[in-house]
Amino acid sequence: MRRTIDWADGAIVIVDQVALPGEYRTRTLRTVTELVDAIQRLAVRGAPALGAAGALGVALAARQGGEVRAEADRIAHARPTAVNLAWGVSRALERLPDGADAVLAEAQAMLDEDEHRNRTASAHAAEVVLDACPRRPLRLLSHCNTGHLATVAWGTALGVVWHLHARGLVESVLVDETRPLLQGSRLTAWELAQAGVPYRVQPDGAAAAAMARGLVDCVLVGADRIAANGDVANKIGTYGLAISAAHHGVPFVVVAPTSTVDKRIAAGSDIDIEERAAFELTEFGGAQIAPAGSAVFNPAFDVTPAALITAVVTEDGVFRP
């Protein structure tokens, strides 16, 4: 697998996640406008990958000249909930006084760091899972997509699966389809198939029933922003999973790089939650599936209180709320 996002020949190259699983293709982004559009359409997505996108976007703007800080602000606000995007922009901007080459060097260093951070965090989390789950081999539950597609390389919560699978410790993964944009069934299932990991796709609404039937040993999720108190903003549906896991005594583990921790935010209630367009719920494959003019509540994320989380794991170690 190539990197999900990279720099080549003076432009940003991404794996176009909108095309998967039907087609694996890349797109070359030569302007900030193209990058912002790709972020908002979810052609590039996932908190760590967005951090890289933010930094590379600043590098692109710096090399092209013009109002670099204004362009950087456009990138940082393309999606409001994932703190990594603004973090990547801010880190790259720190090198702007040293020139465009210095900005690009910083962005490329961040690409190199990403795989190491996520391999380390997921290795820590694998040990947390093994300590919390005596049963072998393990039956894991995944929500949204947290594999290499959500990062520059390797993955966060799905990275735990890669570690455990290499040791022969994974029986199967239950993959929440992750409505409404199906990042689970489109992307996570594709990654698991590529890696040869047994899996089953399930509707999001089946997760509680699967836990009640004893089919889940541990829930593994990523994060888009982690508040100072340990509350976690993640893909919509995560909060409900955490409630079900707590009720059924199933460990609930969050895996993310430290760049996802936002100590400026005291608690999850202070996190700005992105709401997305109505058509994502009222249309499917271009066909109308709800009455015309239906009102829609379409938050992209929810907040899971720290009290429902077994552990938050980063490359720096394990935090138990």
Catalytic (active-site) positions: 224
Residue 79, annotated ligand binder?
Answer: yes
Euclidean distance between CA atoms 156 and 314, whole angstroms: 9
What 76-80 contacts at long range (C-beta under 8 Å, 24+ apart), as own/partner pairs, is 78/36, 78/39, 78/40, 79/39, 79/40, 79/50, 79/274, 80/272, 80/274
Dihedral in degrees, nearest 10, Cα atoms 75, 26, 288, 276: -20
168 backbone dihedrals φ, ψ, rounded to 5°: 70, 30
Measured over all CA atoms, what is the biggest interatomic distance in the chain, rounded to whole angstroms?
59
| Under 8 Å between Cβ of 32 and 57 | yes
Half-sphere exposure (CA, 13 Å, Cβ side) for 111? 22
Give the whole-angstrom CA distance, residue 196 versus residue 199: 9
Nearest-5° Cα angle at 115, 144 to 92? 95
Give the residue among 144, 146, 149 at the shortest CA–CA distance from 160. 146
Instruction: For residue 47, say whether it is annotated as part of any ligand binding site.
Output: yes
Is 45 within any annotated ligand binding site? yes
Can you list the alpha helix ranges (DSSP code H) found in the chain? Answer: 32-40, 47-64, 68-76, 83-93, 100-132, 157-166, 183, 189-195, 207-212, 238-248, 279-282
How far apart CA 311 and CA 321 sit, in angstroms, is 7
Handedness of CA 257, 274, 87, 18 (dihedral sign): positive
263 annotated binding-site participant: no
46 appears as a binding residue in the annotation: yes
Q: Which residues are annotated as a binding site for substrate?
A: 45-47, 79, 183, 234-235
Q: Which residues are annotated as a binding site?
A: 45-47, 79, 183, 234-235
